[in-house]
Amino acid sequence: MAADPVLVLQLHRLGDLLLTFPLLRWLRKKWSSHPVWVVAEPHFFSGLMPFAPDVVFFPPSHCHVLAQGQYAAAINLSSNQQAADCMAQLRAEQKWGPIAAGENRHIRGYWHLYRAALTHNNRNNPFHWADLHLLDMVPPEDIAAMQRVLPRPTGTGRVGLVLGASEKAKRPDAQFWIRLARHLQKAGVRPLFLGGEAERELGEEVGRKSGLNAANFCGKLSLREVGSLMRTLDLCITPDTGPMHLADHLGTPVLNLSMGPVHARETGPSAPGQWVLRAGMSCVGCWQCAREHLFCKRAFRPAAVARAVLALLDNPAGNALPAAHIAGLRLLRTERDSMGLHALVPRLPEESPTCRAALEDLWQAVFLFLHKAAYLPLLHSRVQRLHREFPLLSRKLVTGLHSLCASCAGHIRRGSPLPADFWRTQPPLLRLFSGHMHMTLQNTGYSPQGWQDALRSLGALAAVFPKA
């Protein structure tokens, strides 16, 4: 008798599906006797099938049929109602993610709930989405041991320029690409312009004005052909977009131009040994820009980026890079930290960890500790680091944490749920935690047990931090 399948629902974009591949590989290994079924958009999975793990894909139109089945496990990585309804109807020994519950939804899994709470509230998030897909099932140390295709130049002299992204704010404009291509060609590098049908006009403009019409492949290749071409590149220069994750998955060296409302620590390239270039600004990693102009985009000057590209091509290991030539930008490399989780490490000589990095590391330890008490020593060390290196920030965080405790206690005495905008009323450095706590309480329907768990978490944190 055939074993029950494992079902994964991923109904989001191309990049989201690619970030699901590490989970799919792990499921194929963990449940080796069970087929793995994946529900995804056909115009995404059809082109990715030559590069995907050994799974069976279904379109969302099959959800009503799949909902009638029996599964060994079901994992919902989607936020839409169709996926939640499917999860509510199907039978499975284990379920993770959003599940429809009448007019509401219930989210199963500590890390799935954390992931859901990031919507419009990802500032200071220290976890990569590919890791978050795994953490409810896979310990961090096992994530580190998972097989990955590491980036390796091919020696062809070809460099891919991925022109597009899902939002205009996330990509450079045509003039940037034109000037960058000219710089690279002058240095003896062969730039190729990559993109889908949506980038056809942009590709034609960049090709024509750069004098490199023959290098324009935008709208001319299938996704399968783009993947095959990426395997011939020495470097793929790309904003945060689906093709970036494809290059990363295939082992193509990546230089991610991280600009606009994106956070490279959560959605940048995930394989160890890739590169991220982002503005040296405190506000990077936002969900939506609140400034009058996208100043983070202005930091990306074509000549400076070209110098960084040429330095990486000459020295793929990234030793002794020319910091002075890319002023205003920070160059970071992807790694796996001591716990096995994704990390971004500064690689220019004068760079040192910022208060932003220290705060992200602190929250990483907080959420790991709240999930598993064994991470208390890690939390202690990061609290001490923040207090030692950024004492004013530490004091503000402690004050805000104790104020949050008092506010929640007041709601318990009154027997009232938290207002809908409660998490937004907290100081920005606390919102990652307040948003998670708020959603956790909503997920329990503000039950007495939910309140008790929230206060226990607050008390545990308050005891760790130094007194204000």
- Output phi, psi for 405, to 5 deg: -60, -45
Q: Pairing state of beta strands 254-258 and 275-279?
A: parallel
Neighbours of 339 (CB within 10 A): 16
Query: How many whole angstroms separate alpha carbon 364 and alpha carbon 265?
Result: 12
Apex 403 CA angle, 402 and 407, nearest 5: 120
Quick one: how far is CA 220 from the chain centroid? 29
Helix 174-186 vs helix 200-210: crossing angle, to nearest 10: 40
Distance CA 432, CA 160 (A): 36
Which residues neighbour 447 within 8 Å (Cβ) at sequence distance 6 or greater? none
73-76 and 70-71: which strand pairing?
Answer: unpaired
Q: Are 275 and 312 in contact (CB under 8 A)?
A: yes
Beta-bridged to residue 155, according to DSSP, are none
User: Which domains are present in the chain?
Assistant: 6-144 (3.40.50), 158-352 (3.40.50.2000), 364-464 (no CATH)
Q: Are strands 235-238 and 254-258 parallel, antiparallel or unpaired?
A: parallel
Sheet holding 73-76, edge to edge: 56-58, 36-39, 6-9, 73-76, 95-101, 104-108
Q: What is the pLDDT along the chain (468 residues), one digit of tens a residue?
A: 479 999 999 999 999 999 999 999 999 999 999 999 999 999 999 999 999 999 999 999 999 999 999 999 999 999 999 999 999 999 999 999 999 998 889 999 999 999 999 988 888 999 999 999 999 999 888 888 887 788 999 999 999 999 998 888 889 999 999 999 999 999 999 999 999 999 999 999 999 999 999 999 999 999 999 999 999 999 999 999 999 999 999 999 999 999 988 899 999 999 999 999 988 766 676 666 666 666 667 788 999 999 999 999 988 876 656 555 677 888 999 999 989 999 998 876 556 667 888 899 999 999 999 999 999 999 999 999 999 999 999 999 989 888 888 888 788 777 788 898 898 889 889 999 999 999 999 999 988 888 888 888 888 888 898 765
| Element containing residue 333 per DSSP (H, E) | strand 329-336
pTM score: 0.93
Question: Do 289 and 301 touch, CB atoms closer than 8 A?
Answer: no
Cα-to-chain-centroid distance, residue 279: 18
User: Bridge-partner residues for 193, per DSSP?
Assistant: 161, 216
Q: Three-state SS for 73?
A: strand
**CA triple 352-353-354, angle to 5 deg:** 110
In this structure, are residues 208 and 159 in contact, taking their beta carbons and an 8 Å threshold?
A: no
